[in-house]
Amino acid sequence: MINLIRNEEADMSLEQMWDYLIECGIATRDELVLVTNINGYNEEALESVLYARTGYRSIEQLEECE
């Protein structure tokens, strides 16, 4: 079963969020591997990378400002 990230607009799986962070140049695969090896493969870990790199707490918040 795929873990889903809940947000106001749509559901995004962890895999989709992982791919988004890489495709948008927010993080590299190696950076995500390192963070998730330390903090676990979960929504909070991926959102912490997003916040550290962009200052936004969610992908939806980031997309609203673009």
Does the structure show a pLDDT above 80 at 9? no
**CA–CA separation, 59 vs 50, rounded Å?**
8
**Structure confidence at residue 47 (pLDDT):** 96
Euclidean distance between CA atoms 5 and 7, whole angstroms = 7
- Looking at every residue in the chain, the average pLDDT score rounds to 86
Q: Backbone phi, then psi, for 50, in 5-degree steps?
A: -55, -45
- Cα 36 from Cα 55, distance rounded (Å): 19
Global pTM value = 0.80
Residue 64: the pLDDT is 86
